[in-house]
Amino acid sequence: NAGVMQNPRHLVRRRGQEARLRCSPMKGHSHVYWYRQLPEEGLKFMVYLQKENIIDESGMPKERFSAEFPKEGPSILRIQQVVRGDSAAYFCASSPPSQSNTEAFFGQGTRLTVV
Amino acid sequence: AQSVTQLDSQVPVFEEAPVELRCNYSSSVSVYLFWYVQYPNQGLQLLLKYLSGSTLVESINGFEAEFNKSQTSFHLRKPSVHISDTAEYFCAVKDAGTASKLTFGTGTRLQVTL
């Protein structure tokens, strides 16, 4: 049973380009969460999705950032027109479809570097 | 809104010495509490969690944490650390009984030396 898979592990983008980060949750998991970790900081919540629905996007920047979790395929975090301040590690976590969701399983992260 | 405070950003300790990593939280609702460990360039791994019941919870590698509701704390302890325990440790909280996000502290870097 593979864990949460994120790709790519490392991504380099020039300022103004688009970054697409992918997350395949664990088998049977229908809840996906995205977090961002800036250097020397903890993880900050960005968005919580279930299949085809955004449940909580209170942590998403208002512009340039979007997320989706389609019926088929991985969840995608998309950053348009990247800037240097977007450089960070982006982590995805998944959990099973239970009401209480007592545990979230994390992927290895995608480290985005904007040059 | 919830918040988590980890007062110690770094904790240096010698091998085989005891250690305590402090975590305090604030929430207006009942919560679940977690400790995650992150090794360099890795994702987060769950170390232990408190959901309900006994306030003392243990991990398989010798760590334990005690939930103290009156002091809103969930400190992590280990009686004797090993070099391999060197890592970043994150305390986190979420609403109990609902599918919701985790709120993390800023982390404590545990550095174990000989």
Q: What is the pLDDT of residues A80-93, one digit of tens each?
A: 999 999 999 999 99
Q: With beta carbons under 8 A apart, name residues in chain B contacting A56.
A: 100-101
Please report the number of interchain residue pairs, chain A to chain B, with beta-carbon separation below 8 angstroms. 64
Q: What is the pLDDT of residues A37-55, one digit of tens each?
A: 987 778 999 999 998 899 9
Q: What is the pLDDT of residues B78-102, one digit of tens each?
A: 999 999 999 999 999 998 877 788 9
Residue A36 has pLDDT above 70, yes or no: yes
Residue B39 has pLDDT above 70, yes or no: yes
Q: Which of A33, A56, A102 is closest, CB to CB, to B49?
A: A102
Residue A57 has pLDDT above 80, yes or no: yes
Which chain A residue lies closest to B4 (C-alpha atoms)? Answer: A42
Q: What is the mean pLDDT of chain B?
A: 93
Q: Which of B51, B96, B102 is closest, CB to CB, to A45?
A: B102
Residue A33 has pLDDT above 90, yes or no: yes
Q: Do B90 and A93 touch (CB under 8 A)?
A: no
> In this complex, is the C-beta atom of B97 within 8 Å of any C-beta atom belonging to chain A?
yes
User: How many angstroms separate the CA of residue B8 from the nearest CA in chain A?
Assistant: 13
Predicted confidence band at B54 (pLDDT cuts at 50, 70, 90)? confident
Residue A96 has pLDDT above 70, yes or no: yes
Predicted confidence band at B41 (pLDDT cuts at 50, 70, 90)? confident
Query: A91: closest CA among A28, A10, A26, A6?
Result: A6
| Cα–Cα distance, A96 to A102 (Å, whole number) | 9
Residue A100 has pLDDT above 70, yes or no: no
Q: Do B101 and A42 touch (CB under 8 A)?
A: no
Q: With beta carbons under 8 A apart, name residues in chain B contacting A35.
A: 102, 104
User: What is the model's pLDDT at position A107?
Assistant: 94
User: What is the model's pLDDT at position A101?
Assistant: 59
| Selected residues 57-86 of chain B with any CB under 8 Å from a CB in chain A | none
Which chain A residue lies closest to B106 (C-alpha atoms)? Answer: A42
Q: Do B98 and A100 touch (CB under 8 A)?
A: yes
Residue type at position B1: A
User: What is the model's pLDDT at position A99?
Assistant: 57
Residue A1 has pLDDT above 60, yes or no: no
Residue that has been written with the tokens 């970790």 in this structure: A37
CA distances from A115 to A9, A12, A65, A87, A101 (A): 17, 7, 18, 9, 38
Q: Do A99 and B36 touch (CB under 8 A)?
A: no
Residue A99 burial class via C-beta count within 10 angstroms: exposed 0-12, middle 13-18, buried 19 and up? exposed
Mean pLDDT, range B59-82, rounded to an integer: 94
